[in-house]
Every structure is written in C-alpha cells, then in structure tokens.
Amino acid sequence: MTIPDKALSSNGHSKPLYHLLAQSLASDIESGAFAVGSTLPSEKSLTSIHGVSRQTVRQALALLRSQGLIASRPGVGSIVLPAPQGAEAFAPITSAEDLRDFLGKTELHQVSLGPITVNERLSEVLECRRGIQLSEACFLRRRPQAPLPMSVLRIYLPPQYAAAQITPDVARGPIYQNLERMFGIAVTEVRQDVTATVLDQDTARLLQAAPGDPALQVVRFYYSATGKPVEVTVGHYPSSRYRQSVRYALPPSG
C-alpha cells in the first residue's frame, strides 16, 4: 500500500512523516504484501515511491526495527520478521535461585572481548575509579528461537580474570561460575540496580532497535567473601522485549 502524497505532505497530521510511512509499511507487512523472510524495497526505492526524504525513510525503518517487524542485514537490506510475540514475562529476580532460573532460560552469544579504559560515564555505572583498566565482554542475550535479542549484556572483570569471559558460541549459565572454577573466587552475594534509560546508538545497533528507544538498565555487582565486587554486569533491555510479572497474596483485611 502506498501512502497518498497528500497524507505525506499535509501539515495537518499530528504524527511526523516517518510515523505515517512506518504505519503504511507495517500495514503492508501485516497484509502479507511483504512476506516473512522477504526484503523491503531499498531506501532509494522507498524514497521514490512515497516522495519523502532518505532521512524520513531511515527513521521509519528504525521504528519498524524497534517494533520487531524487520531486521537489517548488511548487504541484504531490511528483512521482514515473523510477527512479534510480545515481551516475555519473567519473575522479579530477588534471589540467587531467581537469577539462576532466568539465566537458564536464555542464551549468551558473544559479540566482542577486549581491554578497556574506564571513562567518567562508565565509572559512575560501575562505581569504580576513572582511568582503570578492565576486561569487557559484550554479549547478546537471546531467548531460544526468538528473532531478536532481548538484551545487550556487558560484563566487566579485572584484566587478570579475562579468561573467565571466554565462552562457547552459545553459552548458558553465569560467567561468575567461571571465576570460581578457573580462579577459585567464590561469589557470595549479588546486588542488582534497575533504572530506566534510553538506548544509545551502539547498543541500539546491536539490538536492531532505534537509538533513544526506552529500555531498562540492569546493573549487577557480584561480591566475593571479602565484600569486594569481583564482577559487574550491565544489561540493556528494550521495553518491548522484556517485562517482569509478579502475583502475590494479600493478608486478610481487618
């Protein structure tokens, strides 16, 4: 379905042009005009078909990616994905058992591993000194068979423990267990901080989402028996792909 030129050029619409274009393309996907696994027309073609700028097309495609309708593949284009099933509900993580249960339901796919120098912004998140050296491992956390990753996870360790971050192509289970197995460092306590945030450009690219999309930032500090953190993880979860759900009984009133 092509959006009428009048609809795209009218100043009377409250939604920006890229929203209108995204709605039109989403309608075409839903109707089957663009089948699952097929590619959308190129940016140049969409610009010509709808009479809009290349920037408008890119913003519309970014919105469709954030909705889980398409994925971008270098050298291929925008591929239509199966209809998203919505964010899977997980129980709140309030204990070690909850954490192990959550980790057991997901997979880690490693993206990168290497040394970093902690900048000022990261030092605030990790609660450490700016300028120190750490080993950073970046992973995509996925639900099995899901078309899109549910989060980006970055794991920070002292450089001497970087070997604990080396994993198979698809890993299950927590990295902190590698610390105990390889270095004899037992994790005895975990602290979790959850805050609302938006995706930066690099994280959005890894998630096939749009920069600025709302997300949860989940930071976990893993402590040894000495009371010092030996590992810190920072996860970013787009709001459309992750939610927590809990149901509990109330005591009788009166």
Whole-number pLDDT of residue 198: 93
Q: What is the pLDDT of residues 1-23, one digit of tens each?
A: 445 443 443 344 456 888 889 88
Which has more confidence, 126 or 244? 126
SS3 233: strand
Bridge partners for 156 per DSSP: 136, 232
How far apart CA 137 and CA 178 sit, in angstroms, is 14
How far apart CA 131 and CA 133 sit, in angstroms, is 7
Select from 62, 67, 96, 98 the least CA-distant residue to 81. 67
Whole-number pLDDT of residue 102: 65
Cα dihedral sign for 86, 137, 223, 197?
A: negative
Q: What is the pLDDT of residues 198-219, one digit of tens each?
A: 999 999 999 988 888 899 999 9
Residues of the chain with CATH 1.10.10.10: 17-80
Mean pLDDT lowest among 7-21, 101-115, 120-134: 7-21
Q: Percent of the chain at pLDDT above 70? A: 82
Mean pLDDT lowest among 74-83, 154-163, 187-196: 74-83
Q: Percent of the chain at pLDDT above 90? A: 49
How far apart CA 85 and CA 178 sit, in angstroms, is 33
Checking if the pLDDT of 240 tops 70, the result is yes
Residues of the chain with CATH 3.40.1410.10: 89-244
Which has more confidence, 124 or 90? 124
Whole-number pLDDT of residue 94: 60
The CATH code that applies to domain 17-80 is 1.10.10.10
Assigned fold of 89-244: Chorismate lyase (3.40.1410)
Whole-number pLDDT of residue 122: 96
Q: What is the pLDDT of residues 144-159, one digit of tens each?
A: 877 788 899 999 999 9
85 — pLDDT class (breaks 50, 70, 90): low
Checking if the pLDDT of 238 tops 60, the result is yes
- The whole-number average pLDDT for the span 233-249 is 78
Q: What is the pLDDT of residues 32-58, one digit of tens each?
A: 889 888 999 999 999 999 999 999 999
